[in-house]
Structure 1
Amino acid sequence: RSEGDRLLEAVDEALTIGREGGVPVEIYHLKAAGVKNWPKARLVMAKIDSARAAGQDVAADQYAYTAGANGFSSCIPPAAHADGKLLERLRDPGTRAALAAKMVRPDAAWENLCLSASPEGVEVVGFKVDSLKRYEGQRLSQIARTLGKTWPETIIDLTLAEEDRLGQLLFIASDSNVALQFRQPWLKFGTDAAGLDPDSMKGRMTHPRAYGNYPRILGRFVREQKVLTLEDAIRKMTGAVAERLSIRDRGMLHEGMYADIVLFDPATIIDRATYEQPNQLSVGVRDVFVNGVEVVRDGGHTGAKPGRVVRGPGFQR
Structure 2
Amino acid sequence: MRLLVTGSEGLVGRWFSDALRAGGHDVVDYDILLGDDIRDLGALDHAMRGCEGVVHLAAISRVMWGETHPRLCHEVNVGGTASLLAAVARQRQAPWLLFASSREVYGDPLFLPVMEGAAIRPVNHYGRSKVEGELLVEAARATGLHCAILRLSNVYGGLNDHPDRAVPSFLWRALAGEELQVSGSDMVLDFVHVEDCVKGLMTAARMLSDGAASLPTVHLASGVPTTLLDLAETAVDTAGSASTVKVADRRSYDVRGFVGDPSRALEVLGWRAGITLDAGLRRFRDDMIARGRPLAAVPVPVAVPLGVAGERRNVLSGALD
Fold conserved between structures, TM > 0.5: no
Which category of TM-score, normalised to the shorter sequence, fits these structures? under 0.3
TM-score, reference length from structure 2: 0.25
Higher RCO (CA < 8 A, seq sep 6+):
2
